[in-house]
Each structure stands twice: as structure tokens, then as C-alpha cells.
Amino acid sequence: MRTVADCLSDPAHAGPLDGATRVGRAADGDRRVAVGLWTDGGRVVRARFRATSCASLIAYAEVACAALEAGLSPAALDAPRLRASLAGVHPGHLVRAELVAAAIHAAALTREDPE
């Protein structure tokens, strides 16, 4: 299981969302996260995120993008699953998982752009 510190030391999935097939966003006050999904035949082949500077928010987005690229369906990625996949989250920041899950679900619901 990855920790918040692991995710912050190497956020491999943080990056631009330009060219994503689908993008979803979620916000709670000044906390914001956007997740871009590149899909092929309905399967996520690449996932990237942009987030405001909150360690827990970044870490949840990192583990979420890794899980999506490993084959987990966006519909199966919810807040409890995210919380179970990350250690070291301050108890007051556990709600950040809901924000990341909301962004992913918003991305999954957007219409793919024909190219």
C-alpha cells in the first residue's frame, strides 16, 4: 500500500490534461482536482491529474490514476476504495477521497470527442 509520502515524492500521474478523451473536475472550497482520461474502446489507457496543493488530495489522485491505468473501471473507483488504498492520511483529510472520486465519475460521464 502506498503512503501519502510515497505519492508526493513521485507523483507520476500529475501532468497536463491536454488531449484527454474525457476530463472531470470537482471542487470543495479552495480544494480543486481535475482528472483527464485517455480511453481506447472504453478502457482507460492513460490517466493524469491536476490538483491544488493539498498533500492528501494529490496522493488520492495519484493512487486513483494508477488504479485506472492498471485496469480498474472508473465506475468501480469510489471514495472507500481510495481510502483503503492509501496510508498516512490525516483523519481530517479523509474526505479528499470523495473529491477525487467525484472528478473521476464526472470524467466518466462526459461525452468522448470524436476525432
pLDDT at 112 over 90: no
Q: What is the pLDDT of residues 87-106, one digit of tens each?
A: 999 999 999 999 999 999 99
CB 30 within 8 A of CB 47: no
Q: What is the pLDDT of residues 2-47, one digit of tens each?
A: 999 999 999 999 999 999 999 999 999 999 999 999 999 889 999 9
pLDDT at 115 over 80: no
pTM for this predicted structure: 0.94
